[in-house]
Each structure stands twice: as structure tokens, then as C-alpha cells.
Amino acid sequence: EEYAELTSAIAEAPGVDLWLCETMSSVLEAEASTIACRKANPDIPVWVAFVLRRSSEAGRVELVDGTPLVDAVKFAKKYGIEALLFNCSTPQLIGDALAALKGEPTDGLLLGGYGNFWEEHKPGWSIDQQESEPGKGDTKASGLQVRDITVEDYVCSTRRWACSGARILGGCCGIGPDHIRAMAAAFAKPS
């Protein structure tokens, strides 16, 4: 109901050319948001971005609810999603997810990612366990900013993503204008 209310209001606004359902935690949530988008205006393309985690079993990358990545691809194909993205996750997780999908048939589905500056969340983590607050300067785990990711490191990560098939690149929490400028400059030059 909430997605339907939001999408019906947005669909009436002038200039809406894309639905971006981002920070999705499960295929079920993405399905609900996609259905609402299609109902509000089926002519607008839908992009879906999922949050990732590393499983406690074998360190495999999966959706934050434990769903395998291949199921996200199946969902995207079933609903005619134009782009399957990963966001609000570390650059390493996004890179590992895109690399894992490299051999999967994606049938023209655009892939991409926009990473954040935070540590990987462990299975079972929830937002109420967030320990870091702006200005606190604390060093606890489970949700702190990773301060050693430089602009150059982030650009290097996005190049890795592109080598794994990503065509849509950007930044999420903690990634700022300097990162985006450097990415734009790096991708403007031939590799």
C-alpha cells in the first residue's frame, strides 16, 4: 500500500522518466515496489538496487536477507527490470557480487552499483545496532565509516565493477562529489 501511494503521487509529476527502487533488502520487497511502479505508470522503466551482505557460510555474497544473487537476476528478468544494481554496500561486496554474476546469463539486463563508505554488516545486523554517530569519532565495529577508502581506491573499485559488466556506476552514503568527479574523469579516458 505504501509503495502504491508513493508511486501514484510521483507518476503524476512532470518529468518522471525512471523508477529507481533502491536499497531493497529482499526480492519480496523489490517485487512489491516494482508492481506499484508498473501500476502507477507501466511506460516508465524500472531500475532496482539491492543491499548486499557476505554470508556466514563460505563468505558468499548474497542479498541482505540471504537470497542468492541468481534469484535477484531471475526476479529482474521476470518483471522486465531494465537495470539490476547493488547499493548501500561496500565497494568490495559490490565488486564480488558483479564478479559472481559475470558468468550468469543476464539477457541485456544492465548491471551496476553505487557503493558506500561503511563496513560490511554481519548476518543478523539491524539498524538499531548502529553504533556510530556523526562527530562521535568512535571505533566500534558494525556500521562505522571505513576511513581508509580514498578517492583513488573507490575509482579502482568502480573500474573493477566495469570489468565485471557494470554499466551504471555511482556512489551512496559517504561517497561525495570528489569521488564522482574522479570516476567521471577516469572513465572519460580510454583504459
What is the distance between the alpha carbons of residues 52 and 24, in angstroms, rounded to a whole number? 9
pLDDT band at 146 (very low <50, low <70, confident <90, very high): low
Give 81 or 12, the one with higher predicted confidence. 81
pLDDT of residue 139: 47
Amino acid occupying residue 150: T
pLDDT of residue 13: 83
Domains of the chain in sequence order? 2-188 (3.20.20.330)
Known binding-site residues for Zn(2+) equal 88, 172-173
Across 59-73, 96-110, 125-139, least confident range: 125-139
pTM for the predicted model, two decimal places: 0.86
pLDDT of residue 149: 80
Known binding-site residues equal 88, 172-173
36-65 pLDDT per residue, tens = 999 999 999 999 999 999 987 778 999 999
- What percent of the chain clears pLDDT 70, i.e. is strictly above it? 84
Distances in Å between the Cα of 50 and the Cα atoms of 5, 61, 106 are 21, 12, 16
pLDDT of residue 95: 97
pLDDT of residue 187: 95
Section 107-132 average pLDDT? 72
Section 13-24 average pLDDT? 93
pLDDT of residue 92: 94
Q: Which long-range contacts (CB under 8 A, 24 or more apart) does 36-42 make?
A: 36/3, 36/4, 36/6, 36/7, 36/8, 37/3, 37/7, 38/79, 39/4, 39/7, 39/8, 40/4, 40/7, 40/8, 40/10, 40/11, 41/7, 41/11, 41/16
DSSP-derived 3-state class of residue 5: helix
Section 123-152 average pLDDT? 57
Is pLDDT at 152 greater than 60 in this prediction? yes
Nearest CA-CA partner of 113 in 151, 72, 73, 84: 84
